[in-house]
Amino acid sequence: MISIEIFSDVVCPWCFIGKRNLETALSKFKMSGEKSEKIKLNWRSFQLNPKLPAQGIARSEYTSTKFGGEERAAQVYERISDAATGVGLALNFEKILTQPNSSRMHALIYAAESVKKDHQLVESLFKAFFIDGVDLTQKDKVSSIAQSTGLERDLIDSVFDDDLFMDRVDEDIQQSSEIGIQGVPFFIINQKIGLSGAQPPEAIVEAVEQSR
């Protein structure tokens, strides 16, 4: 068994790019002369902006504050867009009008994991935010995304109304702090090797081999 812990945030474009690189790495990963081992991916919570209000803030305010002005923000996102294009993603930053607090999305991913739908939900949230520009501060829209991936409405409501799995999110964030994770994506392979950033597929394959 190969385990890969993925500390990630669904509002982080590099995490979306990193997910594509990971998928490419796993598709290429073959054990010479042996039967392939099972690979278990575990999505772990990390928040780039934990202090954002529940209702989020205007995207323009967020990018201007984070990057020190619109011109600098445009330069940063141009570089990210180029990297995304390289892995087959066409990100639409212009469509994003609100920057959300992602804590409930992380709790929903744990809810999805409980019914073996976590990978589908992570992909759907990335696409909704970065490609379709969906406002993830709107409960009905997030609920619709979760239902489309197979989650029951009662389970979704428990996340929003009863704080289901929020303790797991808090534990992840605490652990990431203890480990010293300052940026995501961050991969921990077989509890032995840590990789920071949207590493190319070759680096991920090499790390998996080393961990074995």
The answer to whether 43 touches 6, Cβ cutoff 8 Å, is yes
Is pLDDT above 50 for 33?
no
**pLDDT of 98-144, one tens digit each?**
999 999 999 999 999 999 999 999 999 999 999 999 999 999 999 99
Check whether 29 has a pLDDT greater than 80.
no
pTM over 0.85: yes
Classify 189 as helix, strand or coil: strand
Helix, strand, or coil (residue 121): helix
User: What are the Cα distances from residue 126, in Å, to 53, 70, 72, 132, 206?
Assistant: 20, 23, 24, 9, 26
In whole angstroms, what is the distance from residue 91 CA to residue 85 CA? 8
Residues counted in the chain: 212
**How many domains does the chain divide into?**
1
State the CATH number of the domain containing residue 124: 3.40.30.10
Element (H, E) at 137: none
Q: Write out the residue range of the structural domain in which residue 18 sits.
A: 2-211
Distance CA 119, CA 106 (A): 12
Q: pLDDT band for position 36 (50/70/90)?
A: low
Phi, psi of 133 (to 5 degrees): 65, 30
32 vs 133: CA distance, rounded Å:
42
Average pLDDT over residues 30-53: 81
88-122 burial string, b = 16+ CB within 10 Å, else e?
ebebebeebebbbbbbbbbbbbbbbbeeebbbebb
Using an 8 Å Cβ cutoff, are 154 and 114 in contact? no
At 70 the pLDDT is: 84
